[in-house]
Chains A and B, each alone.
Chain A
Amino acid sequence: MSLLEVENLVVEFQTASGPFRAVDGVSLKVNAGEVLAIVGESGSGKSVSMLAAMGLLPWTAKVTADKLTFNGRDMLAMSDNDRRKIIGKDIAMIFQEPVASLNPCFTVGFQIEEVLRFHTDLGKKARRDRAIELFNAVGIPNPEERLGHYPHQMSGGQCQRVMIATALACNPKLLIADEPTTALDVTIQKQILDLLMRLQAEHNMGLIIITHNMGVVAETADRVIVQYKGRKIEEADVLSLFESPKSAYTKALLSALPDNATGDRLPTIAEFLTDQQIFEGAVR
């Protein structure tokens, strides 16, 4: 049994100009200990599909799926209350903008201990010890002191480490990382990715990494899903995707890597592919 199973996920937003389909029939599976990468350009519905799986979309979104289970439990049929016992504990998520993702009005210690307070029966002292342990695990120096800091006193990389520590607080089975490094400096990106991969291996977590960056995919993923305009275009394990991409879109994506650029500028996808050509090769 897979950890997360999604079949034919559709998300529609009500907008001022009528309904808008942000995710259109996406299916995916993640197993324990597996790293799945979802790639696709901006607006292709990567974040929305993951938020839908966690039940975090605003009420303007209509979510339907043939199947949406975590650990065998139906997440769609579940009551909000039951779902809240799972998310933050067994499924955790970290986001693109680490600084904005932390509440500016509370210390980071408060924000990490809060998770422990709601999802475990640890006492005050035990929660603090656990928070220190987590800060150590994600490589934040001086954890005792840092716990009393506010997010604006920390750098972006530090904030992302705090987010990771918070996500790991209850030893989740699945971690969803939504572009965890996009907002960070290049040097820090590498550190954060390494940290994520190390922790994933240590805890044998399922990990979904959302990214634009094919380099990140190559470095981290076991399996890859390519998404375009809310649809799944291709799914493959990472080696075969890079060696023999099936769809025209993936080929185009790969050729858009700076390494493959010819001439002095990078090509854009729309320059040589129409939507129709893209969807033709799509898998379901």
Chain B
Amino acid sequence: MTVVETTKNPPTGIAEFWFYFSRNKGAVIGLAVFLIILFMAVFAPFVAPHDPSIQNREMLLLPPVLSEGGQASYLLGTDAVGRDIFSRLIYGARFSLFIGVIVVTLSVISGVLVGLVAGYFRGKVDTVIMRVMDIILAFPSLLLALVLVAVLGPGLVNAMIAISLVNLPHFVRLTRAAVMTERAKDYVIASKVAGAGTLRLMFLTILPNCLAPLIVQATLAFSAAILDAAALGFLGMGAQPPTPEWGTMLAEAREFIQRAWWVVTFPGLAILITVLAINLMGDGLRDALDPKLKRS
């Protein structure tokens, strides 16, 4: 077990990172799928065969192309008001990825700040912060998000704010734990002795050394955010119709569950594939970034 070619210092080069990342086949597949989804999202107006909101009254609940009665121009069929499902899914990717990015950015930035403060100063500040995080964690995340959205009013932006808040404790705890282990290490003490200021110590000395677990957690939060946003949409508390958000599409499709399986199947499949791709990447990132797991 010890004969693996180990380099002692944490990953420095992109090359080494890629070496470990690419050894995980799933991660590479996840990355590829994610890039495809990203491409479709960015270039949605060019990729999508139809306008996502145009209702074709002649083509209500048209089945997908491969089943009986399908039409080639409507690859995945149409929904109850004759909109092209495929195009709506492509536009939906925009929302999901956007939600993921915003939520992760919000919760990472605030979580890391709060966690740094808690882990660096310890004492009362720490206690108060951690108690507040405990309080957030005492609620089931979706319930808290649901209630927050009820307070703020349904909608995409409020859903994102709510999900960010629900995600916050994980980043705070992680940063705090990492800071506390790093703080006691020699290099931090050395720079302290050398006269480095508090802010400099926190951001330039300690933070870069806690990045690996944060990146892995950020990937997890990204996929969780997509799931939560879709769930809120499904419950009618996220994006509002006719927005082509995947969860919202599912909510609209529910009543056709017995008549038109495709209206229900494809939006969920889109969520699953996206989330799965991100989680696969997350596993690969963990392998590549976490030196402790770099064996076998």
Contact = CB atoms under 8 A, between A and B. Distances in A.
Contacts of B3: 13, 15-17, 20
A54 B95 CA distance: 61
A251 to B, nearest CB: 29
Contacts, number: 11
Interface in B76-131: none
A15 B4 CA distance: 7
Interface residues of A, number: 5
A197 B207 CA distance: 55
Interface string B267-296: 000000000000000000000000000001
Interface in B1-38: 3-5
A88 B172 CA distance: 49
Contact-size category for B: under 10
Nearest to A58: B1
Contacts of B4: 15-17
Interface string A268-282: 000000000000000
A112 B192 CA distance: 52
Q: Is chain A's interface secondary structure helix, strand, loop, or mixed overall?
A: strand
A270 B4 CA distance: 23
Nearest to B4: A16
A16 B4 CA distance: 6
A106 to B, nearest CB: 25
Interface in A3-23: 13, 15-17, 20
Contacts of A16: 3-5, 296
A197 B105 CA distance: 66
A17 B3 CA distance: 8
Nearest to B3: A15
- Quick one: which of A13, A15, A17, A20 has the most chain B CB within 10 A? A15
A20 B1 CA distance: 11
- Quick one: which of B3, B4, B5, B296 has the most chain A CB within 10 A? B3
A149 to B, nearest CB: 31
A43 B3 CA distance: 11
Nearest to B5: A17
Interface string B173-187: 000000000000000
Contacts of A20: 3
A58 B296 CA distance: 13
Interface in B173-210: none
Nearest to A22: B3
Interface of B: 3-5, 296
11 contacts: A13-B3, A15-B3, A15-B4, A16-B3, A16-B4, A16-B5, A16-B296, A17-B3, A17-B4, A17-B5, A20-B3
